[in-house]
Structure 1
Amino acid sequence: MHIKEHFKSCPKCQSTAIKFDTKHFVCSECGFDFYINASAAVAVLITNAKGELLLTVRKFDPFKGTYDLPGGFVDINETVENAATREIKEELNLDITSLEYFCSFPNTYTYKEIDYYTLDMVFKAEIEDFTPLQANDDVSSIVFLSPKKIDTTAIGLTSIKAIVSKYIDSVS
């Protein structure tokens, strides 16, 4: 459900004279103006020595049980590079040794019936030591798959499908 469905009155003056245009709320009574911007998120492409891509399996909704890439939301006052490093440590218990920007994709992330708009910034990361690898946080399990064997229909999030498809095309 779009966030505009949740604003029935102005948060500042409580007037019902609040209107939404394509990207912000405006109250005609008090002048309150609230913009809806994309939230920053990161996704990380990690391959092993065989060239297989690391995919996670989502532990929770949305899209519980589907393939995903490790990553998550960027915290306030955090760089996207630091977010990528933090998320890989939290979800996989791995340390990134190098990080390279790959691409970005917009996404709609629906959580508890509210649509959040994200911009997923994608990095390729290198990992020297996979021995500490474990599924943590919101990851139920981890798989490594050859890019040629990845079924993108088993990926839940639209942006992650697009990202993995672009990655597959880049290595083919």
Structure 2
Amino acid sequence: MSPTNPEKVIRFCPKCGNPEFIYQTDNSFLCTQCKFHLYVNSAAAVAALIVNDKGEILLTRRAVEPQKGMLDLPGGFVDVMETVETALGREIKEELNLEIEESKYFMSYPNEYVFGGISVFTIDLAYICAIKSFNKIDAKDDISSFEFYRPEEIPFNDIGGTSMKAILKAFIKYIQV
């Protein structure tokens, strides 16, 4: 078990502060004092599969930890009370200054995202996205740059996330059929 797993990191009940906040076998914690029950669930995240007119796939470089400098698919976390579709459009606008014209669900893949010394488990939802125009594309927010790759030239060893590698490999098979 990773030292960043919530079982290894979370020590106190967030409701009453009791240090006897016991990890349970159902992926939850139970406070022995106030009986608060906290489940460790997956957080929703979105990823955009964007292809230009040349058939190249858009990848971004992470500007921040975790995995700073590694390649990634553009996207990010779904905010509280936000739809997945809204998050997808917001993230692509924030990171690349692009507007999605159309999106279609492709697949999901689980991931472990280590942030601040704790594992945040995500379910990454990938969408195939058509972009209105690439004219104003610009690297912003938490990405340092963007790069287009022909599917057969993607440097998979430079991609940080396990889920992003799996999604990209499935997408390449899908577009080559």
Whether these two folds match at TM > 0.5 is: yes
Map 1:69-108; keep pairs closer than 5 Å. 69-108=73-112
Tell me the secondary structure at the aligned position of residue 100 of structure 2.
Answer: coil
Provide the identity percentage.
45
Q: How many residues align?
A: 172
Cross-structure match for 1:28: 32
What residue identity is the alignment partner of 1:28?
T
96-105 vs 21-30, greater mean Cα deviation: 21-30
Deviation at residue 110 of structure 1 after TM alignment: 0.3
Name the counterpart of 2:15.
12
Are 1:154 and 2:148 counterparts?
A: no
Q: CA deviation at 1:14?
A: 3.4
- Separation (CA, whole Å) in 2 of partners of 1:164 and 1:129: 22
CA distance, structure 2, for counterparts of residue 99 and residue 168 of structure 1: 17
In the alignment, structure 2 segments of 5+ residues that lack a partner are none
Q: Partners in 1 of 2:13 and 2:145 — Cα distance?
A: 43
- Structure 1: state its 5+ residue gaps: none
Q: Give the structure-2-normalised TM-score.
A: 0.92
Distance, in Å, in 2 between the alignment partners of 1:114 and 1:19 is 17
Match of 2:141 in 1: 137
Partner deviation per Cα, 1:58-80 (whole Å, 9 max, x = no partner) = 11111111110000000111100
Is 1:39 aligned to residue 8 of structure 2?
Answer: no
Which AA in structure 1 matches 2:98? Answer: L
